[in-house]
Structure 1
Amino acid sequence: MMSFKKNLLWAVCGASVFVSGMSAAAATTTLHVATWLPPTSAQNAVVWPTWKEWVETATEGRVEVVIENYTGSPKTIFDAVEDGVFDAGFSVNAYIPGRFKLASVAEIPGEITDAEVGSVALWRTYEAYFKADQEFRGLHLLALFVHGPGQLNTTFPVNSLEDLKGKKMRVGGGLVNVLAERLGVTPISAPAPKSYELMQQGVVDGTFLPAEQQKTLRLSEVTTDLVLFPKGLYTTAFSIVMNPDSFEGLSKKDQEAIMSVSGEKLSRLAGAAWGKADDEGILEAKASGVNVVYLSKEDALVKDMDELEKGIDQEWINSVSDRKVDANAALAYFRKNVSELSQ
C-alpha cells in the first residue's frame, strides 16, 4: 500500500503513471526511483537506464521504472525510501554513520583496485556473511557496489605526506575518515556533490574522491592537482535499496523477475560503470590543465602511504564487533573473492 506521504508527493509534483508507449500501457506498477547525481554520472548515464530496461523486460512490461531527480541531501535518501516517499534509490552507506557498518569491509585501503571486482566481492560477502545481521532491516537491498579507487583531488601539489598535514580536506565518512586522521588533515565532512562548492569557495584545500569526479562533479574546474595512487587510497560502499512494502506489493513473479536483474548482476553493472568512468575523469582533468600525477608502487609517497594504512583492516574488524558476524572470516572471504575475480 502506497503511503499517504508518497501519494501527497506525487500529487504535488504532478506525477502520473499514465505514459505513452506499448510497454508503459501494459504496466500495472510504477516504481519511482530517487537519484541525486548529475546526468553525466555513471549512475544516471548507465546504471539506472540499464536497470530500468532490465526490469521492464524481465517483468514483460508489468513494472515500469521512472527515474526521479532527488533534490534533497543524499544523506536522506535511505529515509525517503524507507518511508515510502520513493520506491527505490541509492546512496553512500557512510552518510548514515553507524547504520551500515558491515559493507565497509570494501572500504579498507589497498583491498580493491577495480570497482567491478570490489562490487561483486562485496555482494558475495554480504550474501555469505552479512545478510543474517539484518543491517538493512526497513529496506529491501537490491545491490551493493563501490566506486573506483579514491584519489587526491587538491588545490596544491602533493610530493610527500607532510604536504597534507593541516590541510582542509573534504571527507565523506567511513574508513576514509580513519585515513584522514592518520594523515593529520583537517577533515570537513560533506556529501560528494558539495566538493565543487567547498573547493571553489576555499573552504577546503581538496577532497578525497575517485578520478571520475573530475568530470561528473566538474572538479577539473577547481582542482590544480590530481594525484593517482596505483591502488588508490580507499573506496566507498554504496547501497541500492527498495521500499519493502513496494517490493512486497508486487506479485511473486515480478519480485523474482526484479531480483533476477538485481543482486550480483546489478552490483557488477554499477561497479563496472563507475570504474570505467575514472578514465573519462582523468581525460577531463588533463584537458582542463590539471596536473595529473601517476604514482608507482616504487614512489616514496606510495610507500609512506602504504605504511600509514597498515592496521585499518583491524579498525574495521573492531568497528563491527557489535554485529552478529565473524568479521575475520568475512574479511578473508572478501579478500578471496577479490583475488579470484582479479585473475
Structure 2
Amino acid sequence: MTHTTKFTSKIAGLGLAAMLCATGLSAQTLKYAIGFPPGGAATDGVAQFNEKLSAEGDVSLKVFELSLLNLKETPPGVRDGLADAGYIITAYYPAEFSETNLPVEMSMLATVGTPTASSGAVMAGVVSEYVMLHCPDCQTQFKRENQVFLGAIGTSEYVNLCTTPIRSVEDLKGKKMRSALSAMGRWAESFGATKVSLPANDIYEAMSQGVVDCTMISAPELGNLQLFDVTKYITLNVPGGSFSGVGALNVNLDVWRDMSPENRARLISMASFNSAATTVNYSDAAFSDIEKAKGMGIEVIEAPQALRDATEAFVKQDIEVIKSNFTNDYGLKNVDEKVETIIALIEKWKGLTNDVYDDKDALAKVYHDEIFAKVSADNYNMD
C-alpha cells in the first residue's frame, strides 16, 4: 500500500468513526419504570409502544416492570432521576398534582349522560388535551416535580371487586371499600360504606386479610395485580368512570432538555400511540378478564337499575363538591372555569372516540391530530 493510499484510508476511517460517534450521541435509551408486573394491560401497552418507538429514530425505552420502582415510588423516582421516565399515578400525590387531578376526579361524568363506548378512551383524551393544551397550571406543577407530561391513559370502566356481594343499594352499607379517587370514595360513603385509601400494590393483601371488602377498580387489575385469587364477586356498572390519573410517559425534565430536538419530536409524535395502546388494552382486557372470572367461579353481578340511577344523581351533584374541595383544600384558582372546560372536553371526546375506541392505530391518530400534533419539540417544557 502506498503512503497516499494509507493516508486516504486513515482519513476515511476517521470519517467513519466520526459518523458512528455522532450516531451514538443521538441514540438514547431511557430507563422507564412501571410499577406493574409483566403481562398486564399497562405493561403490554408500553411494550407495544416501545416496539414502534424504537423501529425508527434514535430513542427507545429500557422498561423496568415492577423491578426498579413500585407505583407509589415512581413519581419521586422520576423526579430525582432514579428513572429517566415512568408511569406516574397522580392520585397518589394529591397536592403535588392537584391541577391534573381535577379532570381525573370528574371521570364519572364519562359514564353518565350522553352514552359512550369507552369511558377510558374518553378520559385519556380529556386529560391529555386538558393538561397539554389548556392547563398551564398543570404544566407548572409537573415542572415543579421535575417532569414532562406526555399523555394520559384511561382504564376500562370502574367496577367493584369484592369478597362479599353487592346486589342492591342496601348491600353497600357498612362495606369497607378501597378507592383511588376521592369522588368514588364519596360515592361509597353516600350509601353508608367506608372509604379506604390504599396504593394499588397493597390491594391483594388488604382483600385477603379482610382490611377491605371491595376495591373500586378496573376489571383488568384482576390480572395486573393478581386479584383473581382474592375476588369472589364482581359488580358491574358502578361506580363507573375511568381512572385517568396517569402520566403514561412522564420524562425527567433534565433528561428531556438534554435530548436532541429530533428525539423529543419522536417521543411527542409517538406518545399518542402509547396512550392509545394501553387504553385499548384495558378495554379488551376488561372483557376477557370478566369472562375468565366467570370461568373461575367468581360471580358477576349487574348493578340494579336503582343503584345506577342513584349513582347518576350522585355524580351530577358531586361536581359542586369537587369544585369546593379543589378550591379550599388545594388552592386552585378559577375552578369554575376549569370545570366548565373539562365538562366540554368530556362531551367532545365522547363524540371523537365512539367509532375508534377499540382500534389502537385509529385512536392514536385522533389523539395525535387533536393534541400531540399541536405541541412543538422546540418549545414544550424548554423554558
Aligned to 2:60: 64
* In the alignment, structure 1 residue 185 sits paired with structure 2 residue 184: no
Q: CA RMSD in A?
A: 2.4
Aligned to 1:42: 41
Larger Rg: 2
Say whether the 8 Å CA contact 2:207–2:230 is kept in structure 1. yes
Aligned to 2:314: 308
Say whether the 8 Å CA contact 1:115–1:149 is kept in structure 2. yes
**Aligned pairs for 1:141-156 within 5 A:** 141-156=149-164
| Greater fraction of residues in helix | 2
* In the alignment, structure 1 residue 163 sits paired with structure 2 residue 160: no
Aligned to 2:345: 334
Say whether the 8 Å CA contact 2:120–2:244 is kept in structure 1. no
- After superposition, the C-alpha distances for 1:218-261 in whole angstroms (9 at most, x for unaligned) are 22221121010177255342112110111111111111111111
Q: Distance in 2 between matches of 1:154 and 1:286?
A: 14
Aligned to 2:28: 29
SS at match of 1:208: strand
**Aligned pairs for 1:120-269 within 5 A:** 120-133=125-138, 134-137=140-143, 138-229=146-237, 232=240, 235-240=243-248, 241-262=250-271, 264-269=272-277
Note the C-alpha offset of 1:78.
0.7
Say whether the 8 Å CA contact 2:187–2:239 is kept in structure 1. no
Q: Distance in 1 between matches of 2:235 and 2:175?
A: 15
SS at match of 1:184: coil
Check 1:200–1:230 CA distance in 2 against 1; reply closer, same or farther (3 A cut): closer
Q: Distance in 2 between matches of 1:312 and 1:234?
A: 16
Aligned length: 314
Note the C-alpha offset of 1:64.
3.3
Q: Distance in 2 between matches of 1:64 and 1:52?
A: 6
SS at match of 1:207: strand
Check 1:230–1:207 CA distance in 2 against 1; reply closer, same or farther (3 A cut): closer
Q: Distance in 1 between matches of 2:225 and 2:302?
A: 21
Q: Distance in 1 between matches of 2:80 and 2:90?
A: 17
Q: Distance in 2 between matches of 1:173 and 1:231?
A: 11
Q: Distance in 2 between matches of 1:128 and 1:342?
A: 19
Aligned to 1:271: 279
* In the alignment, structure 1 residue 118 sits paired with structure 2 residue 126: no
* One-letter identity of the residue aligned with 1:102: E
SS at match of 2:153: strand
* One-letter identity of the residue aligned with 1:145: I
Check 1:122–1:337 CA distance in 2 against 1; reply closer, same or farther (3 A cut): farther
Say whether the 8 Å CA contact 1:110–1:231 is kept in structure 2. no
- After superposition, the C-alpha distances for 1:82-131 in whole angstroms (9 at most, x for unaligned) are 10010000132111122222333244224244312221122122233223
SS at match of 2:42: helix
Pick aligned residue for 1:51 from 31, 49, 52? 49
- After superposition, the C-alpha distances for 1:24-58 in whole angstroms (9 at most, x for unaligned) are 9897322100011121211112x211221232234
Q: Distance in 1 between matches of 2:133 and 2:252?
A: 23
Say whether the 8 Å CA contact 2:110–2:241 is kept in structure 1. no
Check 1:40–1:274 CA distance in 2 against 1; reply closer, same or farther (3 A cut): same
- After superposition, the C-alpha distances for 1:252-281 in whole angstroms (9 at most, x for unaligned) are 11111111111x443223222222221122
* In the alignment, structure 1 residue 286 sits paired with structure 2 residue 294: yes
Moved more, 115-124 or 67-76: 67-76
Q: Distance in 2 between matches of 1:181 and 1:188?
A: 10
Say whether the 8 Å CA contact 1:121–1:338 is kept in structure 2. yes
**What TM-score do the two structures reach when normalised by structure 2?**
0.75
Unaligned runs of 5+ in 1: 1-23
Say whether the 8 Å CA contact 1:223–1:290 is kept in structure 2. yes
Q: Distance in 2 between matches of 1:258 and 1:342?
A: 23
Note the C-alpha offset of 1:324.
4.8
Unaligned runs of 5+ in 2: 1-22, 112-117, 355-383
- After superposition, the C-alpha distances for 1:287-313 in whole angstroms (9 at most, x for unaligned) are 1101111246xx222122223333222
SS at match of 2:141: coil
Q: Distance in 2 between matches of 1:73 and 1:282?
A: 26
Moved more, 93-102 or 126-135: 126-135
